[in-house]
Amino acid sequence: MSTEGMGQESIAGLDPWGMKRIEKLLVELDGVGSIKLVPDGHGGIDEIHVLTSSPLGPKRIVRNIESALLAEFGLQIDHRKISVARTRQPEISQAPKPKQETAGQIPEAAVSVAVAAESQRTVLKNVHMERLAGREFSCRVELTRGEEGFRGEAEGPDFERSRMEVAAAAALEALLQASNDSVHLALQGVSHLESLGRSFVVVVVGASVGRAAETLSGIESVSDSVEEAAVLACLQATNRWLEGR
């Protein structure tokens, strides 16, 4: 039985706004500036088109999309259905040339907004991990945004779940340094899961500004370590939300 078909049927059966829910999830991912979904006419997805100005490579962006759809909706998408187009900052000395939009083309205004958002995004510079005496674990996370740098540190017991929590806590501390004083971020949970022969880390973050509170989530496939994946999942969960503050 096709796993992809099962995933498409489950999306169609969630609610009439299934595609909107998928789009909302995907635009929160690192590297996704804007996105266009092409339905297949049967409640599933035939194509996914992504516009990005992120330094992330297209393969990494595609893997992020595959991982997010699988973890959130149980939907497995063939990577060949996902296309990534890269934009770059326009030359300041050149006046913008008017263009006639065609059906399905992303407007230039949307491209400019996506480029500006990416330039203000907080990205990971380094994760430093150290085992301490007494089976303790320490993690230092360094982030950058433009020319600014931010650092967060945390310690905890030296076993896998705790190490992921420590890494995520260090990432959130660094993110708080990059935010205004009214923003609060708190780790609500972190989990390491295996699915279809692949490994993922999922984090849930409580975020608030004043009395307004939200629950944010992020997922990252494990590449180098579960600790680094936990840090990247935190960035994925919070970046778009923080940009709006």
Dihedral, CA atoms, 182, 147, 220, 77, nearest 10 degrees? 110
Same domain for 114 and 130, yes or no, is no
Domain boundary pick from 62, 95, 118? 118
170 in a domain, yes or no? Answer: yes
According to DSSP, the residues that pair with 188 across neighbouring strands are none
101 in a domain, yes or no? Answer: no
Q: How many domains does the chain have?
A: 2
What residues contact residue 78 under an 8 Å CB cut-off, 6+ apart? 4
Same domain for 59 and 154, yes or no, is no
Same domain for 217 and 186, yes or no, is yes
104 in a domain, yes or no? Answer: no
Same domain for 145 and 239, yes or no, is yes
What does each C-alpha distance from 67 to 28, 40, 163, 229 come to in angstroms?
A: 13, 21, 22, 12
Cα 175–58–54 angle (5° rounding)? 40
151 in a domain, yes or no? Answer: yes
pLDDT at residue 129 in the model? 93
Same domain for 235 and 150, yes or no, is yes
User: What are the average pLDDT values for consecutive 10-residue runs of the chain, which has 245 residues?
Assistant: 40 54 83 82 80 79 83 79 72 44 49 47 88 91 88 93 94 89 90 86 90 88 90 89 75
pLDDT at residue 16 in the model? 43
127 in a domain, yes or no? Answer: yes
Q: CATH no. for residue 199?
A: 3.30.160.270
pLDDT at residue 94 in the model? 39
pLDDT at residue 85 in the model? 82
Same domain for 129 and 191, yes or no, is yes
pLDDT at residue 148 in the model? 86
For residue 37, the enclosing domain spans 3-87+110-118
Q: CATH no. for residue 18?
A: 3.30.70
pLDDT at residue 40 in the model? 75
Which tokens belong to 194?
């295996």
pLDDT at residue 3 in the model? 38
Choose among 5, 87, 12, 77: nearest CA to 47. Answer: 77
Same domain for 68 and 129, yes or no, is no
